[in-house]
Amino acid sequence: MAFWEKGKATSMIHWKELDPWRIVWHYLRNSTESTMLSHFNDLMLSEESIRILAREVNELRHKCVPFVKVLWHRHEVEEATWETEDSMKSL
């Protein structure tokens, strides 16, 4: 009697077939350089800020560092992050 007949596992797919890096590597290996670069940019996650929820200034010994609490696109309010004001200006 095989292990899938006992009700333990029904999938016959090997774990290497499901590895996302292996899928990407296989896809990129079979692509030309120009299509690789265009698809690589599509695979990158880009976070877009929606709005600033709060502002705070962290006072260190010799300088003040302004922070902003940023709400990101496709995230809940609870997942908002504190970022430096300078890093947000560069976006």
pLDDT band for position 12 (50/70/90)? low
pTM of the complete model: 0.50
Distance CA 65, CA 49 (A): 20
In three-state secondary structure terms, 79 is helix
Parallel/antiparallel/unpaired status of strands 64-72 and 81-84: antiparallel
Is it the case that residue 10 has pLDDT exceeding 60?
Answer: no
pLDDT of residue 41: 62
Distance CA 26, CA 32 (A): 12
Distance CA 77, CA 38 (A): 33
Domain ranges within the chain, ordered by starting residue = 13-43, 49-90
- Give the pair of three-digit tokens for residue 90: 């560069």
